[in-house]
Amino acid sequence: MKKFKLLFIAILGLLGTSAMAQNSLSEAVAAGNKVYFKLINDDQHPIPADEIEDVTRELIAAGEWTAVASPEEADFILQVEAKKKMVFNSPRTWLTPTVLDKSGEVLWKSKTQQADATMFNGFRATDTCIKKVIEKSFQADLFKKAGRK
C-alpha cells in the first residue's frame, strides 16, 4: 500500500511538473512578448549575413514577437542553429530552432528542418527552410503546445 501511495505521488508530481512546463512555454511564446534572437552559425558552413537577417526577421514576425537587444530584457530566447553547405552542387540549408527561458533552460526544441535550392524555389534554400520552420516547427508544434493558433 505504501508503494502504491509513493507511485501515486510521483505520478502527480510528474503531471504537475509537465503542467508547469506547459504554462511557462505558453507564457514565454505568447504573441507580443519580447524575444532575444540568438543564431548559432556553423563555423565551417555558415549562412551568409543577409540570410541571417531574413531568418531573424521572418521567424520573429511569424511568432508576433518583438525583438530586443539583450537576453536580460527578453521574455524568452529563440536560439536557432544554422548551417549551409553545398550538397551535390546545390546549396542546402539546415535550421534548428529552440526556445529557452531566461535562465537558459530548454522549453521546446524542434527537429531540424532542411531545404535544398531547386528551380522550384528559385534556388533559395534558406527562404524555403524558413518557411518549413514556420509551418512545420512553429505552427504545427510550438504554437499548438503553447495553446496558440
Pick the closest to residue 68 from 41, 33, 106, 103 (CA basis): 33
Q: What is the pLDDT of residue 67?
A: 93
**pLDDT for res 123:** 72
User: Which residue type, as a one-letter code, is found at position 21?
Assistant: A
Name the DSSP letter for residue 107.
E
Domain count, the chain: 1
Phi, psi of 61 (to 5 degrees): -65, -40
pLDDT of residue 2: 59
The x, y and z cell numbers of residue 74, run together, are 527578453
Residue 15 sits in a domain whose CATH number is 3.40.50
Q: What is the dihedral sign for C-alpha 50, 54, 60, 61?
A: positive
How crowded is the C-beta side of 118, counted as CA atoms within 13 Å? 7
Using CA atoms, how far apart are residues 17 and 33, in angstroms rounded to an integer? 23
Cα(39)–Cα(47) distance, integer angstroms:
10
Using pLDDT thresholds of 50, 70 and 90, give the confidence band for residue 20: very low
Q: What is the pLDDT of residues 33-69, one digit of tens each?
A: 999 999 999 888 888 888 889 999 999 999 999 999 9
pLDDT in tens, 99-136: 999 888 999 999 999 988 777 666 778 888 889 999 99
Domain that residue 21 falls in: 2-145
Distance (Å, rounded) from C-alpha 106 to C-alpha 139? 19
Mean pLDDT of 17-28: 61
The two beta strands, 90-100 and 106-109, are antiparallel
Burial 139-149 (b: 16+ CB within 10 A, else e): eeebbeebeee
pLDDT at 121: 63
User: Could you tell me if 76 and 99 are in contact, meaning their C-beta atoms sit under 8 angstroms apart?
Assistant: yes
